[in-house]
Amino acid sequence: MSMLKPQPFVRTAQHIRTACTNSLNSVHHATGSTMPQVDQAKLTLLNMRFCPYAQRTVLCLNAKHIDYEVINCALMTKPEWLWDLNPIGKVPVILHQGNILY
């Protein structure tokens, strides 16, 4: 009957992600804006805050505890440099060590 004994619950430290929780007032780059400086060593996510596809990417990165930076883009008035990174002009786009995934 030792199988049925309740096991003590052990709580471990959790990684709390704050970089993806941009406020509603966060900057969304639009047409005419220059591309922000990107650190090639870090994973960078091009995102639109309310895009469900980009939110899936954020959820996966958070679940795997991967550290990343976020650059938000306005999709109604897309910045020109978004077209250079993704010929489809959509998000999410991941930049890491010179590689571009879209």
Point out the catalytic residue in the list 20, 51, 60, 73.
51
In angstroms, the Cα distances linking 58 to 11, 20, 24, 31, 94 are 24, 7, 16, 24, 11
51 is catalytic: yes
Q: How far apart are the first and last CA of the chain?
A: 54
Catalytic (active-site) positions: 51
